[in-house]
Amino acid sequence: MTSAGLAAPIVFSDRMPPGMRPLLDLQDPQGLASKDGLRMLNDRPINAEAPPHLLDDDVTPANRLFVRNNGHPPAAADIDPDTWQLQVGGEAVPEEKTFTLKELKERFTPRTYQLTIECAGNGRSEFSPPATGNQWTTGAVGCPRWTGVRLRDVLAECNVTDAAVYIGYYGADTHLSGDPAKDPISRGVPMQKALEDETLLAYAMNGEPLPLLNGHPLRLVCGGWPASTSGKWLQRIVVRDRVHDGVKMTGKAYRVPKRPVAPGSKVPDADMRIIEAMPVKSLVTFPKSGVVLKTGAEHDVRGHAWVGDGSIQRVDVSIDFGSTWQPAELSPAPNRLAWQRWRATFRLPQDGYYEVWARATDDQGRSQPMIVPGWNPKGYLNNACHRIAALAQS
């Protein structure tokens, strides 16, 4: 068996899962790229991702963090951090309070955490039949260092009552239609997540003010859960006495079937559940997919692994389509909810086409599936093993 993308035999092709095409054949070298190497998936609204090899830093640089917008961001000229305000209200807040960004910085202890955020649709492009939405590959994830104040400290100042069940957010972005009465998105998280140490009202990324497209001047960061829960351009938090019912909290938005369904099925809204913690996942960030390597020599491979609310226990790599695996060296996370660096070495025994696969296992014993997991209408939560293409030549 050979690959259409190169004139070489596919080594271990007899072990390749049925129906799988070589990764090199699936890559589009003509994809539109913005500066810094991000690939644009949509410009209305703006959505862009980084290819895996540009996510090799331990701490994701601001210029490599993916962009996922649901509406139009506020104009930079309309943002004044000195006068920016955050309102906190809702059924479980006795009296609505307003804080300026300056007050948040002065009245509450600043905290810094490295936190992983990932779009729930990351990997959507691999589902068959195709799911609607931005066709993310693997780049809608990052793990910058965020600085801000704990949401729980601010909520304590607001005397939140025992009726609190959920929080919701509202930002300064505007609906694509231009209708000011419509919200582009308003999601949230249960109180248990809202009150975690690492859930931040963040105003800085990697020691600098947030980039405009990533929420400047204030955003919510709920590490390990879908990035859609981490509202940008934050203006209002509501503490609800029920599950938040804002835009993209109901129907099929950011929801998956409660039970497995046949590909292409129509699933009633009542049979869907809200996505909470993201599944176990990994990424190969070096070498770059499509690399040509010397046959028989030892080569380095590395990347990151993460999981929603837990930690990674091991990462394994394979060069024979998952028939055999070898353990990688795994570094501890810098803090809870941050991704973990892994490293390994490998040799390609003969000339030809290979794929290097990575598989992470979390602290609950859950491992990545070798192929795309159960289909769902919106193409969420694809955590199949990441793979890169490699060509061995003597």
Residue 5 lies in a domain: no
Residue 25 binned pLDDT confidence (cut-offs 50, 70, 90): low
Digit-coded pLDDT (tens) for 337-369: 999 999 999 999 999 999 999 999 999 999 999
32 has a pLDDT exceeding 70 = no
285 with 226, same domain: the answer is no
Closest CA to 385 of 357, 356, 353, 345: 357
Number of domains comprising the chain: 2
**Same domain? 304 vs 353:** yes
Q: Three-state SS for 359?
A: strand
Do 294 and 219 belong to one domain?
no
Over residues 109-147, the pLDDT tens digits come to 999 999 999 999 999 999 999 998 999 999 999 999 999
Which phi and psi (to 5°) does residue 356 adopt? -100, 120
Q: Would you say residue 207 lies in a domain?
A: yes
pLDDT exceeds cutoff 70 at 28: no
Give percent of the chain above pLDDT 70.
Answer: 94
Given the structure tokens 């380095």, which residue do they identify? 300
189 in the same domain as 79: yes
Q: Are residues 314 and 367 in the same domain?
A: yes
DSSP states along 64-105: GS-EE-SSBPPPGGG--TTT-EEEEESTT-SS-EEEEHHHHH
Least confident of 12-16, 169-173, 255-259, 272-276: 12-16
Confidence of residue 35 (pLDDT cuts 50, 70, 90): very low
Read off the pLDDT of each residue in 50-69 and give the average, rounded to a whole number: 96
290 occurs within a structural domain: yes
Of 215, 205, 212, 208, residue with least CA distance to 169: 215
Between strands 386-393 and 291-294, the pairing is parallel
CATH code: domain of residue 359 = 2.60.40.650
Residues 242 and 347 placed together within one structural domain of the fold: no
Question: How wide is the angle at C-alpha 284 spanned by C-alphas 280 and 286, nearest 5°?
Answer: 155
Same domain, 318 and 196: no
Q: Is the pLDDT of residue 26 over 80?
A: no
- Whether residues 305 and 345 share a domain: the answer is yes
pLDDT of residue 21: 62
Same domain, 25 and 82: no
Tell me: do 186 and 225 sit in the same domain.
Answer: yes
Lowest-pLDDT choice from 35-49, 307-321, 334-348: 35-49
Residue with tokens 């600085």: 147
Report whether 319 contacts 355 (CB < 8 A). yes
Q: Is residue 376 part of a domain?
A: yes
Residues 22 and 68 reside in one and the same domain? no
Cβ neighbours of residue 181 under 8 Å, at least 6 residues apart?
A: none
Query: How confident is the model over 41-49, as a mean pLDDT?
Result: 88
Asked if residue 3 belongs to a domain, the reply is no
Model confidence pLDDT, tens digit, residues 171-186: 999 999 889 999 999 9
Would 377 be classed as within a structural domain?
A: yes
Q: Give the per-residue pLDDT at 29.
A: 34
**Is 1 inside any structural domain?**
no
296: containing domain: 13-30+278-393
Answer whether residue 34 shows pLDDT above 50: no
Q: Are residue 79 and residue 220 in the same domain, yes or no?
A: yes
Q: How confident is the model at residue 30 (pLDDT cuts 50, 70, 90)?
A: very low
Please state the rounded mean pLDDT for residues 371-377: 94
Average pLDDT, the chain: 93
pLDDT of residue 19: 61
Q: What is the mean pLDDT of residues 268-286?
A: 97
State yes or no: pLDDT of 1 exceeds 80: no
Q: What is the mean pLDDT of residues 311-332?
A: 98
What is the predicted pLDDT for the residue at 71?
94
Residue 79 confidence (pLDDT) = 94
Do the domain assignments include residue 40?
no
CATH number of the domain enclosing 183: 3.90.420.10
